[in-house]
């Protein structure tokens, strides 16, 4: 499974992972979850690269730190969304 994720992972671009705020200042749950999934895939790919120490650079470690911070921000945004009404 990891090989599939590693091979299909999109290049990590921190700025592209965060959904743009709409006019009312809120993002949909689907947009936030999609962004979180993308960030998580980047973290897993970078972790495998750093752990295997093949072609790993200091930039990869910095990028992984940035992706982790972005994931925390996205999780915080998801937690502040109002609960759906049943």
* pLDDT tens digits, 9-56: 445 444 445 555 554 446 789 999 999 999 999 999 998 888 877 677
Residue 35 included in any domain: yes
Residue 9 included in any domain: no
Residue 84 included in any domain: no
Q: Is the pLDDT of residue 66 over 90?
A: yes
The total of structural domains in the chain comes to 1
Residue 60 included in any domain: yes
Domain span holding position 59: 28-79
Residue 54 included in any domain: yes
Residue 4 included in any domain: no
Residue 39 included in any domain: yes
Q: What is the pTM of this model?
A: 0.64
Q: What dihedral do alpha carbons 20, 25, 31, 32 form, nearest 10°?
A: 100
Report how far Cα 3 is from the mean position of its chain's Cα atoms. 18
Q: If you ran DSSP here, which 8-state letter would residue 61 be given?
A: H
Of 1, 5, 4, the residue nearest 44 (C-alpha) = 5
Residue 73 included in any domain: yes
């Amino acid at each position: 499974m990891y090989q599939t994720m590693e091979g299909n992972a999109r290049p990590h671009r921190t700025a592209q992972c965060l959904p743009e705020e709409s006019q009312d200042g809120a993002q949909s749950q689907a947009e936030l979850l999609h962004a979180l999934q993308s960030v998580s895939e980047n973290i897993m790919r970078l972790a495998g690269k750093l752990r295997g120490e093949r072609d790993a650079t200091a930039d990869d470690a910095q990028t992984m730190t940035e992706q982790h911070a972005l994931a925390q921000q996205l999780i915080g945004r998801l937690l502040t969304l109002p609960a759906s009404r049943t």
